[in-house]
Chain A
Amino acid sequence: MVLEIRNLSKSFGGLKVIDGLSFGVQAGERLALIGPNGAGKTTVFNLITGVYPADSGSVLLDGHDITRLASRYRIRRGLARTFQNIRLMPHLTVVENVMIAQYARTPGVAAMLQPVGLGRANRWRQEARAALADAGLEAYADEVAGSLPYGVQKRIELVRALLAAPRVLLLDEPAAGLNPAETEALHQALEAIAARGVTLVVVEHDMHFVGRLCPRVVVLNFGQKIAECPTGEIHTDRRVREAYLGAEDYAA
């Protein structure tokens, strides 16, 4: 198993946000993490990436316990993510934004002092430009990120995560706010990423999107796992129906 969550719990104040959660992800798998709003999906990502420390339980990457590992070291071990509310650096250009993630591959003082800005010939800058071109974003490469439309920023975030060369990619609502054409393009992009062997864990409300991308789902409600099954079977699960009842047309 490439990623494993064991009996993870987290409380904020008196509120138990994640309660004894366990699940595992096989290498190369595409797993969806779904559940109603407030179920704790983003918190799971935040615990896996070390935004908050877990109260109890453990997170294992490639069988190594990373529960107490400082957050900045986790991406260096191949665990990258995107954010539900886009988090690009507003004062950097698009190409610089995605170049940030490259550091995770060659961390250290020498890499920090490596010239990356003089001319376009630099290897790292070229790689970043090529990755942007692959995503159809080359036109924006030299724009300042803060001024770009939402859909474009979302695609840039994905390119940034990829430049860390992750083995596990956590995507927090990648399709939210995208129109059908953009959603389709995102689906294609993620299929291509998965085809390269990258493991995907996706938090997403668009069940049609989830159904096409992820064969398996883990369903959360109030911080607990209420179901873990093939995506096609969730609408028959009584507890899932109860959790969603009246809230969303999950069977779409």
Chain B
Amino acid sequence: MSGYLESVLVLLAINTILAYAAFLPMVAGQLNLGVAAFVAIGAYSAGYLSNTFSVHPVPGAFAALAMAGFVGWLVAFPILRTRGIYLALATFALNQVVQGAILNMDAVGGASGYPIPEHIGFAVVATFAVGVLALVVLLFHTRFGISVTAVSDDERVADLMGLSVRGLQSAAFTAGAALAGLAGALYAHHFNYVEPQNYGVLFSIYVVLYVLLGGTQTVWGPLLGAAVFTLLPELLRGSAAWRYVIFACLIIAIMALRPQGVVVRKAWFSR
């Protein structure tokens, strides 16, 4: 496999995990604009464990997942007290806080970035991505899958039907944060260098766009969104400087023609 193809496929794998990190809270009705914060937490946790304690990248990735999930769970309670646009702004603020905190942490290099020499290849990253995809698909075949959609459709009735609205929302938010942390760890170990500037809100918005473009109605939407966002700019490389202009126009076209996302639920389509 050429180096170029491998790095594109690695990005595809990581972006797929990221798409599900944003998808999980979104199906529960939360617009999380702080995905990058959890990615950063995962990346730096994995890097620190590897550099300081020589933890192997694979258990390190699980630790990063747990760490980001834990932080997600902690902030879920205050953040989920807000609603709609305020929730989005609260997660946006969280993103700024985490990015700012890392910028000021000299133990992990601060603004000058953090090299993480221990390398993992495409196979490991891809295995994690396939595992995440399988787990999320399975999760959406459980009662949880129906219940989170119910919560985002009608909180009041979901509650009266016996569902714990708060519990489901914080579970979805926490699971999304954990997946973002995993993606961060994989990125850190594959590209061997992270810097806080990469984990701004623009990053979070990109990930949310994957999901909105692919569609939130089925579990396959985020996969398609991640694939389009990863591969389309590569396929447009021929047109050099204009490729992002063409790409952006295509995104706007898709959003205008299909606001509910590319993949939607049909009567015959069972997730």
Contacts and interface: CB of A to CB of B under 8 A. Distances in A.
Nearest to A143: B267
Interface stretch (A82-90, A178-186, A212-220): A82-90
Contacts of B143: 99, 103, 111-114, 116, 124
B153 A92 contact: yes
B142 A116 contact: yes
A76 to B, nearest CB: 5
Nearest to A99: B146
Contacts of B160: 49-51, 71-72, 74-75, 81
Given A72-B165, A100-B158, A116-B141, 7 more contacts: A72-B162, A89-B150, A96-B149, A103-B161, A112-B142, A124-B143, A144-B267
Interface residues of B, number: 31
A171 B143 CA distance: 26
B220 to A, nearest CB: 14
Contacts of B138: 115
A142 B217 contact: no
Contacts of A246: none
Nearest to B138: A115
A75 B160 CA distance: 7
A104 interface: yes
A91 B153 contact: yes
A92 B164 contact: no
A100 B161 contact: yes
Interface residues of A, number: 38
Contacts of B217: 91
A99 B146 CA distance: 8
Contact of B270 (A101, A115, A117): A117
A144 to B, nearest CB: 6
Interface in A105-162: 107, 111-118, 124, 142-144, 160
A251 to B, nearest CB: 35
Nearest to B268: A142
A33 interface: no
Interface of A: 49-51, 71-76, 81, 83, 87, 89-93, 96, 99-101, 103-104, 107, 111-118, 124, 142-144, 160, 164
Contacts, number: 99
A110 to B, nearest CB: 10
8 contacts: A50-B160, A72-B160, A75-B161, A92-B153, A113-B143, A114-B142, A116-B143, A117-B140
Contacts of B271: 117
A113 B162 contact: no
The B contact surface, by secondary structure, is helix
Contact of B153 (A49, A90, A111): A90
Given A72-B164, A117-B142, A112 B147 contact: yes
Contacts of A51: 156, 160
B71 interface: no
B144 interface: yes
Contacts of A74: 160
Nearest to B266: A144
Interface string B144-171: 1111011011101111111111000000
A244 B69 CA distance: 59
B265 interface: yes
Interface string B37-67: 0000000000000000000000000000000
A71 B163 CA distance: 10
A50 B138 CA distance: 34
Contacts of B156: 51, 87
Of B146, B152, B271, most A-chain CB atoms within 10 Å: B146
